[in-house]
Structure 1
């Protein structure tokens, strides 16, 4: 069924990451293509419920339209839907009853931004967390173990606007429960070559051998060098997202059912998620979602071969950072299709626009996302459906 609201908004997503570098929720940002346009909150909640059903994982809604947010707060969202409420809306006494009702419904409310004046007393219990942008954080320069005079926080806070590892560590040092987004570029530049390299080496060798069509026994012998990797592979292949009707109990069984092309796809996925460095977990999160999203964009209009290639393109799009090598050097050892090579090495070719759109939905708002979608002759509705399908599939892999 067509959901009309998806034609008038752009969806983008980012992780909510705790101090253990675990992704504890997804932040879904909803931007209106035309500010002030009438949008159906119940339709948006219907679309969201397909990805985050009642009793499932949590999603934090960052609604950029005041009208849509006001309507959504009154539309009875599921309890696992967290709602970010800007301070100016929270300060309005007219909104007290609806915020109290949301709290009674089990929804978590997050106060977004520092209020210009004290909130009404009745409102304070409605908020479990606050979202404080690093730029506006009055405690950002305090020394560890010391509190800034006159700055007290009665509820836990989540930090946004973090751009570097140092800022992230400082935020957690000040007591942040989580950060929004992830400083991918800085994580990669400061990580160094750490644990996880043996896994990656085995995976690269497996991909080479699969690409060459070597005998199953030779592939099995390589995999047995890393039992942890073998477990990971079985876990992914047996996940609901893979869509198999029987449980796969061995690597040989996997190859018999899957064939080499499909196996190579999942080895590529594991290659992007092999690092044991905790700071790399959100980078892996981004890689997997890029691959799934690009595959969803191609959809039924693309051939099976094209869907597989754009998936690998997205999953591999951060490998240069994970391996600390430029793509032109890295892809000498990892065989990829020519169109994937063009996108990753030369920022050109037929898959480059899909990769640009994948990057846009991680950080940008409606006009930018719409511009990239139009370049691919895609509508916002098609793009949004791909975003929601991506988050559904990615959730099944976790």
Structure 2
């Protein structure tokens, strides 16, 4: 029997704001922690085969996966069940550097695993462990921040990199960068760099107009074909996507008219919105577009499962939920230019109305706020397994979109 597991993935960036990997946070059933293993190798193997082996590549998209391991799991050698090329063994702050623990870490290092030390607070007793770890994670919001000037002193114990956790604004990102951090974790990338009415570049205004036009006008096939055909990049990406392996077509589609017939008017409108939105964030971290696409697809699927809500509106809600960060403008200023209804506008600008709980749900899932996720599951009448499947489907759909369209 497969274990029901909820997973949140939180992005980690390098100095250039490029995606380095994800921290994967797990919740099994009602227990807000990594599933406890009883030491039985069969149970460990089952967890490995039923979840990690078939799911981790899909969840992390081939990126390095930071996974928390408790002291008990480390002493049992559990990390060695998983491919060293994929995982970063993250040692929880509660783990003490006992001789047994140090031996377990040395064993993992000898097998080629990379180690990270979570929520580190400097203590001389960790000197030997520091000499083994590759990455030291420090909570940027904690009291430890006052000691961050000592980063260079700590490096005398080894050649580790420092990762700043809970970076929530671009100002904090710049501060951490200046202090010597080389990796960064948090949702700073999903917020505007400067919250003011910055001029929108002409090329991005064109993308906004395309989104507006394709949603606000009544089209016949000829008019829809003509509108899409005006933008060579959009036309190319639309056909490339529909001819990708995701659809497993026997014969390729060769014209915009065929694409419209295949996807239908609504499908084409949503897809062109995806492409145009991705063009709005061409100078932003790739993860910003990836996250907006995941949200769009997940909320669309959520609407289909809950019933009574327009899944097309929910798609647009997810897609536009990060547009303020893409264009570094306040949401209320941008929503006036978008083809959205009153309920979507209310959710985006005021965080109110009937659609707001859907946006709250996906944000809570991203940030591993499990109590909020649990409460919203009850509100929507959803079970964990179906919701986890929808989120994995959304991740796969977003990855396929990016790969087949070359949107980044």
- Is the TM-score greater than 0.5? yes
- Map of 1:374 onto structure 2: 378
- Map of 1:61 onto structure 2: 66
Q: Give, in angstroms, the shift of residue 244 of structure 1.
A: 5.2
- Map of 1:52 onto structure 2: 56
Q: Give, in angstroms, the shift of residue 252 of structure 1.
A: 3.9
Structure 1 window deviating more from structure 2 (353-362 vs 48-57): it is: 48-57
- Map of 2:406 onto structure 1: none
Counterpart of 1:168 (choices 162, 170, 173) is 173
Counterpart of 1:39 (choices 36, 39, 43) is 36
Residues 1:170 and 1:246: Cα distance change in structure 2 (over 3 Å): farther
Q: SS at 2:187's partner residue?
A: coil
Q: Give, in angstroms, the shift of residue 261 of structure 1.
A: 0.8
Give the distance between the partners of 2:241 and 2:393, measured in 1 at CA: 18
* TM-score using structure 2 length: 0.77
Structure 1 window deviating more from structure 2 (39-48 vs 263-272): it is: 39-48
Structure 1 window deviating more from structure 2 (53-62 vs 24-33): it is: 53-62
Deviation digits for residues 239-267 of structure 1 (CA, Å, limit 9, x no counterpart): 55566555445544422322211111112
User: Is the contact between residue 306 and residue 381 of structure 2 (CA under 8 Å) also seen in structure 1?
Assistant: no
Q: Does 1:116 align with 2:123?
A: yes
Q: Does 1:159 align with 2:195?
A: no
Give the distance between the partners of 2:368 and 2:283, measured in 1 at CA: 26
Q: SS at 2:398's partner residue?
A: helix
- Equivalent residues in 2 for 1:2-17, closer than 5 Å: 3-6=2-5, 10-17=6-13
What do you get for the CA RMSD once the two structures are aligned?
A: 3.9
Q: Give, in angstroms, the shift of residue 77 of structure 1.
A: 1.2
Residues 1:114 and 1:332: Cα distance change in structure 2 (over 3 Å): closer
Give the distance between the partners of 1:203 and 1:43, measured in 2 at CA: 49
Q: Give, in angstroms, the shift of residue 294 of structure 1.
A: 1.9
Counterpart of 1:21 (choices 8, 17, 25) is 17
- Map of 2:391 onto structure 1: 387
Give the distance between the partners of 1:365 and 1:72, measured in 2 at CA: 29
Counterpart of 1:77 (choices 82, 89, 95) is 82
User: Is the contact between residue 12 and residue 29 of structure 1 (CA under 8 Å) also seen in structure 2?
Assistant: yes
Structure with higher RCO (Cα < 8 A, 6+ apart): 1
Structure 2 unaligned spans of 5+? 38-43, 403-408
Deviation digits for residues 217-236 of structure 1 (CA, Å, limit 9, x no counterpart): 55555445554444444454
- Map of 1:177 onto structure 2: 182
Matched pairs, number: 387
User: Is the contact between residue 208 and residue 338 of structure 2 (CA under 8 Å) also seen in structure 1?
Assistant: no
- Map of 1:265 onto structure 2: 270
Residues 1:282 and 1:148: Cα distance change in structure 2 (over 3 Å): same
- Equivalent residues in 2 for 1:157-236, closer than 5 Å: 157-184=162-189, 186-190=191-195, 193=198, 197-205=202-210, 207-209=212-214, 211-215=216-220, 218-219=223-224, 221-223=226-228, 226-236=231-241
Q: Does 1:292 align with 2:297?
A: yes
Structure 1 window deviating more from structure 2 (333-342 vs 266-275): it is: 333-342
Residues 1:154 and 1:307: Cα distance change in structure 2 (over 3 Å): same
User: Is the contact between residue 21 and residue 282 of structure 1 (CA under 8 Å) also seen in structure 2?
Assistant: no
Q: SS at 1:259's partner residue?
A: helix
Residues 1:178 and 1:221: Cα distance change in structure 2 (over 3 Å): farther
- Map of 1:95 onto structure 2: 101
User: Is the contact between residue 8 and residue 368 of structure 2 (CA under 8 Å) also seen in structure 1?
Assistant: yes
Give the distance between the partners of 2:200 and 2:3, measured in 1 at CA: 47
